[in-house]
Structures are given as C-alpha cells and as structure tokens.
Amino acid sequence: MKRVAFKMKLRPGCREEYQKRHSQIWSELKQLLKDAGIRDYSIFFDEETHILFAVQKVSGDSGSQDLGKTDIVQKWWAYMADIMETHPDHSPVSIPLEEVFHMD
C-alpha cells in the first residue's frame, strides 16, 4: 500500500463550513473512495496559510485525485468550489507532494 499526499487551499473564513461538509460526506462518495482502494484518508488544516494537507493510503495505482471523471466526484467538486481554490472545472487546485521521509 502506498501513501499519497497533496495540498489544497481553503478560502479564508471557510474552515468551519469545510469541516461541516466533510462531516456529512456523501455515502456514495465515501463508497467510491473505498472501492478505489483509498484508506486511512486524513486532511489537516494550517490556520496560518489556509492550506489543507491531505494524506491517504492507496492500494492500486491511483488515488482520490484520479477519480475526477466520475459524476459523484464532479458533483462534490461543484459543491465545494465556493470555499476552495479551484480550476474552471471546479476541481480543487491540488499540488502533489513528494515523500522525503517515513518512519513506521
């Protein structure tokens, strides 16, 4: 199982709304992530920079960032677009991060 990490950016003042929406994540989206082999998925927030740091364990060749062609992910992106930095297609601006250290 590989670990995948990336960062995104939340609009100022939207932390509580972001947490609320994720606490009510749609069951169809959660199932899609599980079916894609995504486990142990966490998102952290840096209050100073408004950066969201995401890390997930993935079995297989792709992570959550590769599911953008599915209807449910496109609907989620549109739902989240008002509180995050996004591209014109509503996909979050997401920057992959390279792992430079890991300790079990």
50 catalytic, yes or no? no
User: Residue 85 burial by CB count (10 A; 0-12/13-18/19+): exposed, middle or buried?
Assistant: middle
Question: Is the alpha carbon torsion for 34, 51, 15, 79 positive or negative?
Answer: negative
In the set 22, 50, 90, 102, the catalytic residue is: 22
90 touches 78 (CB < 8 A): yes
Catalytic residues: 22
